[in-house]
Every structure is written in structure tokens, then in C-alpha cells.
Amino acid sequence: MLPKVSIVVPVYNVEKYLRQCLDSIINQTLTNIEIICVNDGSTDNSLTILQEYADKDSRIRVIDKPNSGYGHSMNIGFQLCTGEYIGIVESDDFAKSEMFEILYKIAIENDLDIARCHFFTFTQKDSSIKKIDSYQMETNVLINPQNDLSPFLQWPSVWANIYKRTFIQKNNLKFLETPGASYQDTAFSFKVYACATRMMLIDAPLIYYRIHDQSSIKSKDKVFCICDEFNEIMAFCKNKMLYEKLKYLICYLQYKSYKWNYNRLEMPHRYLFLLHWSKEIRKNSEIYSRNNPFFIFKDLKKIVVIKLLPLLYRYRNEL
């Protein structure tokens, strides 16, 4: 009998948290699951821990490969899934025991492309927990993202959803395989919602997203990763003839994501990114304008400064 849900676990140097993650999955109340752990060339004891758990639980399959990044790991995991639905638990997060039973039940009852839940943030520094509700999205009602854009305004949080496997395959939905683990959920989430017609959000938080101490991005390799994600989004939408319909939304999401990225960068990468951002705004002036219904006046003021006087934006630190 095929599993009801395949759970993909991307793993890279997480020995400190991996047991808690795996325990939360193997103890799910939905027992007919498969667990595909993709070890992305970990240099700590993560692989040893995975093999230990796989020896005890036949539902666990361990894939070991050289380090190639989060996106590649996710795509390999998705390709190997055989379940009716696919879920994701990142290896430093952990799920409530009833998570996949609840999501699978609602997905089957409503023939959903995507079933989604709320989630908690778990701050590692002080173990504080905060419930995060999905923004402006109705709960327990059938949503068609073609008509209701609220799913696009959520945190990307790919691990708060389960996806019908045939839906993923039919639309050839994949993660962008850029190096490391930076923003690859951004384009994937957008593409998923752009293709889905049946989605539902349940009114319950079912997974804990671990927040580590935020550190500035010092690696030049990660400065423009978010730009790659939005290039992928735009290429996808143009290929699917969706760009005109979604261009204002794409622009708004790009603005919010670029602000987040800018804040995390260190000099000189921060200034280089700001110049690139300014250039993109000038290039796309028609959608970075008051014509865009998603922008409020405060956003438009900042956009004008970034566009015309990026140095002033930097010094005023208007974020």
C-alpha cells in the first residue's frame, strides 16, 4: 500500500536538533507515511544519526549526497516520493504529533492541491514560542489562488503545507537549485500558488519553526540569491502567460523580500545590493509606482528614495 504522506527532510549539519525533528515525525498519529531524509554532505554527525533512526524504522529512507544546496536536496526528495501527498519538515524544526493526520484528512475530504496550517516560531535563544497566523487568509474554506491572492502574502513556509504529489508532478514544480540555503522557498511557494486551484488553511498551528540568532550575511555568494528567486518567478509567470495578471503582486513581494535581504547584508555587500535594487526599480518603474494597488504611501516614499537617491536611503536607514 502506498503511503498517504511522504515527508521530505533536508539535512545539513544539524546534529544538535535532528533527533527532536525525527522523533516528531516517527511519532506522528498518521502512521502510513514514508520519511525521505536527504543528507546534503553534512560534516558533523547528522548522517550517523539518520542511519541510526533508519535502522530502527523501516519508513525512513536516507539519501546521502555531496553538498549541493537546499534546492537540489528538496528536488531529489520530491522525485523519490510515492505518497498521495508530500510534506516537508526541515531538520531543525519539529512537528506536532497530529500534524500530518489533520492535514491529510482535510486534503482528502476536499480533494486539495494544498492543505496548509498555521505554525509556531520557536526562538532558540530563550525557547520562547509564538503562534504565527497566516496573514489575511480565511480558514476552513476552499480557496482558489487564481482568484484569491491571499496565499501569496503568507510567509513562504513551505513546511506548513502538504502538496498533492500528482499536482506537483503535473506542473513540474521544482525548487531553484542555487548554492547553499538562501530563499529557495520563495520561488517554489509562488509557483505552487500560481498553479493551484484548490487550497485550504486549517485554523490550527501544527509545526514549530526554529529561529536561530539572526546573523548578517557576510558571504558574497548569497548577496543576490533573492534576485535569482524573483528572476525565476518572472520567467515562470511569463512562460505560463501569467505575468500581466500577477505583475503588481510580484513587484510587491519583491519589494518586501529585498528589504529583508538588504537588512541582513553587511557592507560592502549591502551597498552593492542597494545599487542593484535601485536599478531594478528604475527598470520596472511602471509597476513600482502608485499604479500598484499593493503599495501604501509609506512604501512609495521609500521606493522613490531607493530609485533616485540610494545613498540617502542608506544613510537614513528608512526600514
pLDDT at residue number 214:
52
pLDDT at residue number 180:
65
pLDDT digits over 200-214, tens only? 999 999 999 998 765
pLDDT at residue number 216:
43
Confidence at 219, pLDDT banded by 50, 70, 90: low
pLDDT digits over 28-43, tens only? 999 999 999 999 999 9
> For residues 164 and 170, what is the distance between their CA atoms, to the nearest angstrom?
10
Q: How far is CA 111 from CA 100, 134, 160, 167, 258, in A?
A: 15, 21, 18, 11, 35
For residue 69, pLDDT beyond 60:
yes
What stretches of the chain adopt beta strand conformation (E)?
5-11, 33-40, 60-65, 85-88, 94-95, 114-123, 128-132, 161-164, 199-211
Nearest to 249 by CA among 112, 147, 178: 147
Percent of the chain with pLDDT over 70: 95
Half-sphere exposure of 44 (CA within 13 A, CB side): 10
Superfamily of domain 5-211: Spore Coat Polysaccharide Biosynthesis Protein SpsA; Chain A (3.90.550.10)
pLDDT at residue number 318:
46
Domain ranges of the chain: 5-211, 220-316
pLDDT at residue number 274:
93
Nearest to 25 by CA among 210, 211, 207, 212: 207
